Amino acid sequence: MKKLPAIATLGAATIDAFVWSRAFSEIRSSRFSTGVGECFSLGAKIDIDRFMLSTGGGATNAGATFANLGFGTACACAVGDDLFGRAVRDDLRERGIGTEAVAVLPGEQTAFSTILVMPSGERTVLVHRGASEKLTAARVPWKKLRGAWLYMTSVGGRMDVLKGAMAHAARAKQRVFWNPGGKDIAHGLRALKPHLRGVSVLSLNREEAATLTGRQVKDTIGMLRDLHMHVPGVVFTDGSHGAWWSDGERLLFAKPTGVKALNRTGAGDAFGSGFLAGFIRFGDPAKALQLATVNAEGVIRKIGAKTGLLRRWPSAAALTKIRITAR
């Protein structure tokens, strides 16, 4: 196998508290923004079946995939000067991920998420963004983010961080993979357009793509056409239905195997980082989609955002279980 290049990740770092209870129930109502609420009785003591604490956040989750597969990896994120911040840094070191670009912010709390998991695997996430949303361009030691690629997750809507990342990538001749978050997308296509020119691969889910382009959520071709006016490569995920890759000429679709989901937290990070890992090693978007799907399916079968990540490169037989079709 050829020597793998280094990859730097940029984004959030959190502590995730997963809570499972059979007492969590679904109620369908237009009063909820998604049309479905995850509910339990007000004022009651609710028994939980199990819980788990782990590190999370897009930058650390993606970094774990890259480190597991043999890429030199460094992570840029912000944590508080607290117990949870030390836990994040210790976990990164144990995984062989460089921490020299982790900003420790005195007086801030490390980001914390409480994930309420339904028996179906669907979940609601309560988020305290803490130090993660205090990461500024001035706090990122850009020169320490070395590597052939910069893998960006959500920058929390911070345009200064986005501008800094694109300027750094241009100086360092890095290619950029970006999986933006809701606050980033909320700026709108017009504001993001100048920065998308520096992105090699943009990764969005169906709802995010519709929001960014202003297209109907079912208009796959229209959304991809609009996005290709700004970026050469688009990864387009559609939950349990599968995922797409388009480079403006080829349109590929990956069909998942339909494994039962115990947990969906971290699946998007696993997919994006798996895609980039496969794209770098194989130079083939079809194999990259297969690797991404295998990595994401491993995560949804396990508890925690990192527990089910690939620990080594899968066999060719494992990859071919993911069916790829050209559309």
DSSP per residue over 83-109, as a string? HHHHHHHHHHHHTTEE-TTEEEETT-P
Q: How many residues does the chain have?
A: 327
Whether residue 113 contacts residue 128, with contact meaning beta carbons closer than 8 Å, is answered with yes
Higher pLDDT: 117 or 159? It is 159
Q: List the Cα angle 192/78/275 in 5-degree steps.
A: 55
pLDDT for the residue 197: 93
Q: d(Cα 238, Cα 265) in Å, to the nearest integer?
A: 15
pLDDT at 263: 77
Name residue 160's amino acid.
D
CA distances from 114 to 92, 99, 167 (A): 21, 25, 35
Two tokens at 145?
A: 């983010």
Average pLDDT of every residue of the chain? 95
Mean pLDDT, residues 198-215 = 96
> Is the confidence at residue 3, as pLDDT, over 80?
no
Task: Read off the pLDDT of residues 288-307 as tens digits, 9 standing for 90 and up.
Answer: 999 999 999 999 999 888 99
pLDDT of residue 2: 64
Please list the alpha-helical segments (H only) found in the chain: 58-68, 83-94, 159-172, 182-185, 189-196, 206-213, 220-227, 267-282, 285-300, 316-320
Percent residues over pLDDT 90 in the chain: 90
**Does the pLDDT of residue 1 top 70, yes or no?**
no
Question: Which pLDDT score, from 0 to 100, does residue 120 have?
Answer: 78
Q: Can you tell me which residue has the tokens 């921490």?
A: 99
pLDDT for position 261: 80
Closest C-alpha among 227, 257, 261, 228 to residue 242: 257
67-93 mean pLDDT: 98
The pLDDT of residue 327 = 82
What distance in Å separates the CA atoms of residue 272 and residue 267, rounded to the nearest whole number?
9
pLDDT surpasses 80 at 121: no
Confidence class for position 236, pLDDT limits 50, 70, 90: very high
Alpha-carbon torsion (71, 245, 219, 176), positive or negative: positive
| pLDDT for the residue 95 | 98
Q: Is the pLDDT of residue 34 over 90?
A: no
Other beta carbons less than 10 A from residue 45's beta carbon: 6
Distances (CA, A) of 56 to 17, 91, 155, 220, 231: 9, 10, 15, 30, 28
- Digit-coded pLDDT (tens) for 123-156: 899 999 999 999 999 999 999 999 999 999 999 9
Mean pLDDT, to the nearest integer, of 4-31?
Answer: 94
Q: What is the pLDDT of residues 40-50, one digit of tens each?
A: 999 999 999 99
Work out the pLDDT band at 265, boundaries 50, 70, 90. Answer: confident
Q: Residues 136, 39: contact at Cβ < 8 Å?
A: no
CATH of 7-13+56-109+132-326, one of 3.40.640.10, 2.60.40.1120, 3.30.70.1290, 3.40.1190.20: 3.40.1190.20
Q: What is the pLDDT of residue 303?
A: 82
- Domain layout of the chain by residue ranges: 7-13+56-109+132-326
pLDDT at 33: 87
Band of residue 112 on the pLDDT scale cut at 50, 70, 90: very high
